Structure 1
């Protein structure tokens, strides 16, 4: 007979820290100029409005190919996402998807924005699409998907995705902290 196990999260709803704990994925934009500065800011964890202004100016005045334009929208959205401006960030991720529908980072970040806005099912669909397309940092996609699953009260799926995030990046503390809240009972 197969083993059945139950996964319980301590502090019910604690995983709904999605609004504060979603993890963003920036896109590297090559070349010089403001689009590169925007990329560097997003990749280094910045969220300051002045970097968003650099991204906005890059989109307005720089001659960017489709990939870099979409990447710059993703990066500007990442800066907004870090400030929990979910609707505004989602606008940028939507624009990136329109420009480059095969850019996984646009979907995973749009999914994170939706999860942050507590629209878990919609966020889950985008994060699944991102994993299907492939992303540079899949551990962040699994972490965000775990937040979505937890928001949908699917603790077993959340637990396994937190585990996958730790497996992919063992030194990343955020999913480890989430896993510490879980108790697994084998039957």
Structure 2
């Protein structure tokens, strides 16, 4: 059996701006749904964050929708690279619904943005274990964490997994293009 050596051609730019976030769908109308739609649409404006805050403060939400609204507000903050505020939202989501994988995946992304790769890896592993609606994003973010920890081989395999799970998504394919794989003698 041949073993593989994996090399990254160039160190990845670990920018949260290119990282993947896993939003939570909230249905039923109102501010929480508007917050979810903003997160899904890639928005980051403060007016959408205000909708999320109003939903959290004023709407009667079940545990999943309340936690999801914290996640979605955190995503809006994460897009603006407000890592501290985003992390607080993800922490609140975990308190409300500890089995919501998206809260961990996004908290992991915030840690990556702060170059705290080991913390990010722990949260990403937990999110993957719990399950998420878009697992390709979790594997992509975990690959970024592995690269930050100089574990190039694990990063390569997670980028591959992201492509396998979401073959039309270009971001992990672009990352894989930087790698050179050759058999180990």
TM range (shorter): over 0.9
Equivalent in the alignment of 2:163: 166
CA RMSD after TM alignment = 1.0
1:89-168 residue pairs with structure 2 within 5 A?
A: 89-168=86-165
The corresponding residue for 1:47 is 44
Q: Unmatched 5+ residue regions in structure 2?
A: none
Distance 1:64 1:170 in 2: 35
| Structure 2 residue 2 is the aligned partner of structure 1 residue 3 | yes
Structure 2 Cα separation of the partners of residues 19 and 75 of structure 1 = 16
Aligned length: 184
* In 1: Cα distance, 2:42 partner to 2:17 partner: 15
Deviations 1:11-31 (A, max 9, x none): 2x3x24243322111101111
1:32 to partner: Cα distance: 1.1
The residue that corresponds to 1:82 in the other structure is 79
Using structure 1 for the length normalisation, give the TM-score: 0.95
What is the TM-score normalised by the length of structure 2?
Answer: 0.96
